[in-house]
Copies of this chain bind each other. A is one copy, B any other.
Amino acid sequence: MSTLPAPLELPTRLLHGPGPSPVPESVLAALAKPTIGHMDPEFMRVMNEVREMLQAVFETENQMTLACSGTGSAGAEMVALNLVEPGDRCLVCVHGVFGGRFAEKCRRAGGEVTTIEAEWGQAFDQAEVIARIHELQPKLVMIVHAETSTGVLQPIDQLADAAHQHDALLVVDCVTSLGGLPVRVDHHGIDAAFSGTQKCLSCPPGLAPVTLSERAMHRVTNRKSPVRSWYLDLSLVGNYWTGSRAYHHTAPVNMNYALHESLRLILEEGLDARYERHQSAHQLLKQQLEQRDFAYASDPEHSLPMLNLIRVPEEVADEAAVRRQLLTEHGIEIGGGLGKFAGVCWRVGLMGHGAREANVSAIVEALDAVMPAN
């Protein structure tokens, strides 16, 4: 290295992509509190309160509820690697990038994976999924609640009965929904759900909330083969979070402070008020965008409030250049498309702290300024 880098100077961004989302000041302040030990009784108290607040946001009484020490993808992998053994039949519903990723994680766990697909931008008809559950009789069924690549909200209320009839576990990806839409783990009979901190929880990225039902934990504790990851092995991690408190790894202490504060803010606001705020910001943005002839890429019946998938207008020759201009001239981040939607869609997030009227106005004004028609 030739010269020592200067201390970080970072631009201020209004984060309206697919996450990370805007982080409230008090969450950043919590993040910067002095580090204490990962075995300190005071940190155990922090962990306990994080667990209790996660249970409230997931709407579950699951004992095995914790913040996995990695980002959302680590949470997904924790679920896949702990619940799937070599040879296990898995049914994974793919209607975007993240279903496909979970299928890959199940394969790496040794699972025999069958995928079913829905058109990008569409939700699955639950009856179709249920028919495939009866047909395949898998040990695990997985579906994405809020597909971050397509902006689709997937109804999941009818799946647990069919899954449980065949002793299959129902796994739901709640990375983008948790904190912005009701997840209701216990009510919907979900056996395992995972999320990330940087979406509707409005905390920096770095932790993955995970919850598993007793049925799922029975599967974990009765495995025939060891979990293919030591770091994510729930029988070890779970002991640190909820059991004997035996040392497993050094938890990201400060990130847990930040999650503590972000969950506190969510519960202080109230879940229903928060969900309504996401809805009304979405409605306002949608109205403003449609007035400007932007078209949604997601089925209007199943569009996510916190992530708006819009088609790049034909008059835009270089969509990446427009996003870059939004970022550098207006300080606003929106996301490009992923997978099949790369280059043809934009992803406009209204997540957590950022789901507000003022933010919608800022986004729309900046779009007006950079669109070629203007």
| Known A-B contacts A7-B261, A32-B31, A204-B253; A70 and B231 likewise in contact (beta carbons under 8 Å) | yes
| Chain A interface helix/strand/loop/mixed | loop
**A293 interface residue (CB < 8 Å to B):** no
Residue of B nearest to A203 (CB): B35
* A40–B231 CB distance below 8 A: no
* B20–A72 CB distance below 8 A: no
Which of A22-30, A127-135, A177-185 sits within the interface? A22-30
Question: Could you tell me the distance between the alpha carbons of A28 and B226 in the complex, rounded to whole angstroms?
Answer: 38
Copies in the complex: 2
**A295 interface residue (CB < 8 Å to B):** no
Against B, the Cβ 8 Å flags (1 = close, 0 = not) of A70-102 are: 111110010001000000000000000000010
By size class, the interface of chain A is 35 or more
**A330 interface residue (CB < 8 Å to B):** no
* A250–B1 CB distance below 8 A: no
User: Which parts of A287-302 form the interface with B (CB within 8 Å)?
Assistant: none
Question: Could you tell me the distance between the alpha carbons of A11 and B33 in the complex, rounded to whole angstroms?
Answer: 10
Name 16 extra pairs, CB < 8 A, besides A1-B55, A28-B35: A7-B26, A10-B34, A10-B46, A11-B42, A13-B36, A17-B37, A20-B36, A20-B37, A73-B231, A73-B250, A107-B226, A108-B227, A108-B230, A206-B253, A229-B229, A254-B258
